Chains A and B, each alone.
Chain A
Amino acid sequence: MGIIKSVKLAFDYLKYGEDESDVQKVRAIDDVTIDIEKGDFIAILGHNGSGKSTLAKHMNALLLPTEGTMWVDGIDTAKEPELWKVRQKAGMVFQNPDNQIIGSIVEEDVGFGPENMGVPTDEIWTRVEESLTKVGMIKHRDKSPNRLSGGQKQRVAIAGVVAMRPDCIVLDEPTAMLDPNGRQEVLRTVSELNEKENVTVILITHYMEEVIHADHVFVMDSGHVVMQGTPREIFSQVDRLKKLHLDVPQVTELAYELKKSGIDLPDGILTKEELVEELLRVSEKMKSKPQSKGTRSEKTSGGNKASGKARKKSNEREGTKK
């Protein structure tokens, strides 16, 4: 059994109508069975309202299952009387950096978790220093969080979780409110924690570029886990993802369009380097073929046109998103 495991997990939100007897149930997740190994970097994708946050809140026992079971490090969250013991195993970072920083000084905020857990004073200080160093925020330790950038605030929030020494960190769209720089900062911090400290990371995100380096990806749609696998497996099914209203990384999209316009590329290209390599291979292959120069240049220019088209398309997509 992995660090986080759920079997047939389902959850209903209760919606209250005008009078008290009018209670409606909204099924937010249904029949979710997952098993997450210790030390993995997991990404969860899904369009708005697909139940990602609801699932995440189960991993931290902020919500308890309506049906099915959720185990965190072997503890059944529905049976544990002291829920904070579950919460110290799976820390959680939320979307809005302002609404999750409790302390009015960076270091006091990082100490909040350990204080609640009853860690002795001396050790709180070691933990605070250690975790602020890990996220690269030690030089801002006595600043007010209000004076930090979004990315820095989010790193403080991560440090606050790291100070609790959890086995697992769940991040619910931690970069959604950040600019590209802040996003990079946060992502780098998270990957470092995963690689160096072997912390299990569960990242919920709308940015496909953040998913590429994950070990395993879950795709959710209307409360169900509809796809899972390595990023390459997931992103090689561009058509299916589009049906689920999801994007693919820009490079993958470009490769997909190139392939559609007749260039012989494999499915699921994830990085620029890969694409360049594959394109080189393709052009090598064409060079070695005893064909006239004309055809080849025609082919490449065709490729360029296609890439232009794909890029334009992805730009348009960006536009509509805004």
Chain B
Amino acid sequence: MFKDVTIGQYYPADSILHKLDPRVKFLGTVIFIVSVFLVRGFAGYAFVTAVLVTLIALSKVPFRFMLKGLRAILIILCITMIFNMFLTPGEVIFQKWIFKITREGVIQAVRMGVRLAYLVIGSSIMTLTTTPNQLTDAMESLFSPLKVVHAPVHEIAMMMSIALRFIPILMEETDKIMKAQIARGADFESGGIVKRIMNMIPLLVPLFVSAFRRANDLAMAMEARCYHGGEGRTQMKPLKYSGRDIVAYILIFGFLAACIFFRITRL
């Protein structure tokens, strides 16, 4: 059940997207997500879709890896779509008892569905083509101006990259503990919401204990390897812009401009 989470799952390949500077990819992803919520009309979505398809093709990552991320948010996706479908006021096209579906509701539901799906696929492209370390390096670099006001930018970036590395390990462990507890007669499936939450305790307690032990071990291992904060630290893969990244920035801002254009013209 937890194998579906793609966030933090790097897919090694030799593509232009893999080679791009992570800062470009990070900003690009943010702009892409904003744009997905900017455009409203059919032409706008057609354009965004075309860009997304191009990016997927460029990434050389099999499409099913991006769908995996979608599967994880399937429930949220369905709930959002259903709420939008039934609760948007407008011209009624179907009615039964207290439920009514409006034309606007259907459009809104489809739009939200597409937005969420594109949001997930878009960020999956980034996480699949960028190693978590590159990603946190990018954030550290992009947010480094905040160091002036003593924000612990390096520490937060380090914490994020470690969290990302341990997500798959903890997922696997959750799976293992779950199976072990099921074998001992634990029941995670039946009962009401309160009972279900209570049933999670035999899962959560060992998971937390193990997570704390891991954290302790890891802290020790980091210290043993001379980690002493961000000061005086060099980088193995320092971020450097190349010509390719400049081109990418131009394209990204071109894309944003186009989306704003679609928004204004309501296409």
Contacts and interface: CB of A to CB of B under 8 A. Distances in A.
Contacts of A16: none
B233 A142 contact: no
A155 to B, nearest CB: 15
A102 B234 contact: no
A115 B234 contact: yes
Contacts of A117: 226
Nearest to A128: B236
Contacts of B161: 104
B139 to A, nearest CB: 15
Contacts of B233: 115-116, 118
Interface stretch (A30-38, A88-96, A186-194, A241-249): A88-96
Interface stretch (B35-43, B75-83, B164-172, B253-261): B164-172
Given A94-B217, A108-B236, 8 more contacts: A83-B228, A100-B218, A102-B218, A102-B221, A103-B133, A105-B133, A113-B225, A124-B236
Given A94-B217, A142-B12, A62 B224 contact: yes
Nearest to B164: A104
Interface of A: 60, 62, 82-84, 87-88, 91-92, 94, 96, 98-105, 107-108, 111-121, 124-125, 128, 142-144, 146, 160-161, 164
Contact of A104 (B132, B224, B225, B227): B132
19 contacts: A82-B228, A87-B226, A88-B226, A94-B220, A99-B213, A100-B221, A102-B165, A102-B221, A102-B222, A104-B131, A104-B161, A112-B222, A112-B225, A116-B226, A116-B227, A118-B233, A121-B235, A121-B238, A164-B226
Interface of B: 8, 10, 12, 131-133, 161-162, 164-165, 168-169, 213-214, 217-218, 220-228, 232-238
B225 A160 contact: yes
A62 B220 contact: yes
Given A102-B218, A104-B165, A120-B234, A113 B133 contact: no
Contacts of B218: 99-100, 102
B229 to A, nearest CB: 9
B190 to A, nearest CB: 33
Given A105-B10, A118-B234, A124-B236, A161 B225 contact: yes
B227 to A, nearest CB: 5
Contact of A146 (B131, B168, B234): B168
B133 to A, nearest CB: 5
Contacts of B165: 101-104
B217 A96 contact: yes
A98 B167 CA distance: 12
Contact of A100 (B213, B217, B228, B235): B217
List of 3 A-B pairs having minimum Cβ-Cβ separation, nearest first: A111-B236, A100-B221, A99-B217
B163 to A, nearest CB: 11
A250 B123 CA distance: 56
A62 to B, nearest CB: 6
A84 B214 CA distance: 22
Contacts of B217: 94, 96, 99-100
B226 A121 contact: no
B72 to A, nearest CB: 18
A103 B166 CA distance: 10
A196 to B, nearest CB: 23
A94 B214 CA distance: 12
